[in-house]
Structure 1
């Protein structure tokens, strides 16, 4: 086995221009980023148009105050969930794939890592396709050409690595604020913003509070579970948690509440299906400046989520196949763009959200193993497969699915998370401690 200095040297010897992404080893302390840089990566990820949509949908279904409560509860849960995983990443410098190796085994990790790394590439395809569809709807432009151009741009940005994610994040978040304020200002000219608190929704009981919490959590359950890919660059665990807090609850809340407020104001037509998509508000007046804002906003905002998801997928798959993140960025990026060009992206959202419901138990197992049982597991012998991790994941996912089908009043995401955590702790604590 190579010594740590040799391994680090191998990881950093990638060329004169682009630094290593440390696909196969922890990020050394000498290469960690500032709190501002890591925060920019996470802050600019959830503050996006596609996060305003579920916020508006939940408010449309439940009414303003219940919808607001569901959004806040879901974001607080996400802060604890993602924050714990981030703390571990900041302490160790390990990516999600390396974290999964510890918990699921040196061979078993491939199932967990491959599963999530594939799901996030699906989200890349979905949002690349949504970029073309949004600009076609707004301006009548050729959707296919826009998807192709946007896809190439997003792949190129991801290829540059973690630094580029901080760049686009630092631009996407302020741009969202500008677009949101502009949309509220335009909406105020034709709607009564003072009536927002009285909005009762249009759902008629079609969505429960528990389902609403799941809808909000599922939007970022995948990349949230893979947070280590971003927060492993933090100087320590505390800074990793601070960086995470800029995303959950801050950035996520801003995006979702923007969609919810505009729905409650009656400014969005067909809110029960369109959710909080506020771009039609900006294009409605036919103002050239607002049209330009929409163009830049859609490309940068959806570009932010696309680059982050592709980075997650490429980093995970590069470790799985023993390659480099940048090579997998090109391969998976091309596959994602082709899927988007074929229009199949529009079929993804339902099953991707369902998979997102099955993800929290996986993260719960990681939290139980590497945070709660951290001291107990110190010096634990390596294993090719850790059956207890898969049993707990399956138990949590199974209960989440049953909750989804038969007990919709509860949040299947939260239920699966709690069950996965409890089952893993019960199995591990009932066994003797095994060390080298």
Structure 2
């Protein structure tokens, strides 16, 4: 197929499914309503992986301390994501277009490429979890189930932001119904007093509050940083804020509480949330035929929501960098993600969150300071902006120091705070000095 023919085919698909505005701001006439924005955002974190994370927090911290980490971490995410989302809403630009002004006309490729690649990794992680849970529960072939999942998730992403709307329309209410059932059914076996007093795995809390906050923040810090990819579709600032609030704290906290309540209620010694000790495994453990069928469908639909969101972000970022179309990159990157998922990359979940907590927060904090405070009206005037990259390096280095020498603290908060202070200092240190009269 010639390049001209391929371009014509892509243009025809965009005409049918809608323009994704990879290289230009979304015009006002193409913006989506509030209900659609809420579905796009709520369908992202209200997932079984969030419930697994809630289980990990409760196992490591005990229920009451984990609850504090969940609430505080989600409020931090609300402030961070809402502020970045407003940048996308007011300009109509995706993350890569905004990063172009902050990191430089070539430098943005490093920031956008890193985040897009990390999100592709998340797509692979969640796709691998799908295949592993289906294979372990029903005895089906892991690779086959992973490939089926990956192809389904590519198809949803290919539709574009409308696909994220439709998968959220199914995934969100299904999670709410099944999540309330699982949490309530498990709680009935122990009682709320036992849940609140649950002290952690085998009665021992091993996770500090700092680490707990990092886990909560890092779970969606990458997607939260590229939030402009979603919020650029909002009609106004109020819609952007409400949609963000539906995700953080509402959807993310609901998901974490489902897993946390179930884990505290059952108090299984050495529970494995990534094995059978999760809401999917709980539904199947009841040995009710129709519930097991529903659990099967739920897993594919629910993880299909987060996977399609991650792949959408990754494809949007790389399409801007390579000068191609989002849908083309969704197919290419989706195929790569399937291959990676088949290699059990999801098993490195905790290490992945630690990496995100070190590298990603500085990017968002630098963008917030640059666009709101230091250079709000500035355009891209250079290929690389050393102050932005210098602050990014300083923030990440600080997080590495915390990781090894003060592990009880939060690497995510440390990297963001230090990077912000560094960017502020570097920006004013090299600012042109006024000439004496």
TM-score under structure 2 length normalisation: 0.92
Say which SS state the counterpart of residue 265 (structure 1) adopts.
Answer: helix
| Whole-Å separation in 2 of the counterparts to 1:136 and 1:336 | 18
Q: CA deviation at 1:226?
A: 0.8
Change (3 A) 1:268 1:162: farther
| Whole-Å separation in 1 of the counterparts to 2:398 and 2:35 | 39
1:421 is matched with 420
Q: How many residues align?
A: 421
Gaps of 5+ in 1: 1-10
2:387 is matched with 388
1:225 is matched with 225
Q: Map of 1:96-245 to 2, 5 A cutoff? A: 96-188=95-187, 190-202=189-201, 204-245=204-245
Q: Residues 156-202 of structure 1: CA distance to partner in whole angstroms, max 9, x if unpaired?
A: 11000001101111221111111112213432454334411111112
Q: CA deviation at 1:421?
A: 1.1
| Whole-Å separation in 1 of the counterparts to 2:52 and 2:373 | 35
Q: CA deviation at 1:266?
A: 2.0
Q: Does 1:298 align with 2:299?
A: yes
Q: CA deviation at 1:54?
A: 1.3
Q: Residues 179-231 of structure 1: CA distance to partner in whole angstroms, max 9, x if unpaired?
A: 11221343245433441111111273421110000011111011111111111
Q: Does 1:345 align with 2:345?
A: yes
2:31 is matched with 32
1:323 is matched with 324
Change (3 A) 1:322 1:300: same
Q: Is the 8 A contact 1:60 1:272 kept in 2?
A: no
1:64 is matched with 63
TM-score under structure 1 length normalisation: 0.92
1:4 is matched with none
Q: Residues 376-403 of structure 1: CA distance to partner in whole angstroms, max 9, x if unpaired?
A: 4424561111100001111111111111
Q: Is the 8 A contact 1:90 1:236 kept in 2?
A: yes
| Whole-Å separation in 2 of the counterparts to 1:98 and 1:433 | 26
Q: Does 1:310 align with 2:311?
A: yes
Q: Is the 8 A contact 2:59 2:205 kept in 1?
A: no
| Whole-Å separation in 1 of the counterparts to 2:236 and 2:210 | 35
RMSD (Å) for aligned C-alpha atoms: 2.0
Say which SS state the counterpart of residue 45 (structure 2) adopts.
Answer: coil
| Whole-Å separation in 1 of the counterparts to 2:326 and 2:401 | 37
Q: Residues 263-313 of structure 1: CA distance to partner in whole angstroms, max 9, x if unpaired?
A: 111255633665972222111121012102211110011101110000000
2:335 is matched with 334
Q: Residues 320-368 of structure 1: CA distance to partner in whole angstroms, max 9, x if unpaired?
A: 1000000000100111111222x24234424421321121111111111
1:282 is matched with 283
Q: Map of 1:84-99 to 2, 5 A cutoff? A: 84-99=83-98
Q: CA deviation at 1:13?
A: 7.6
| Whole-Å separation in 2 of the counterparts to 1:323 and 1:85 | 25
Gaps of 5+ in 2: 1-9
Change (3 A) 1:103 1:418: same
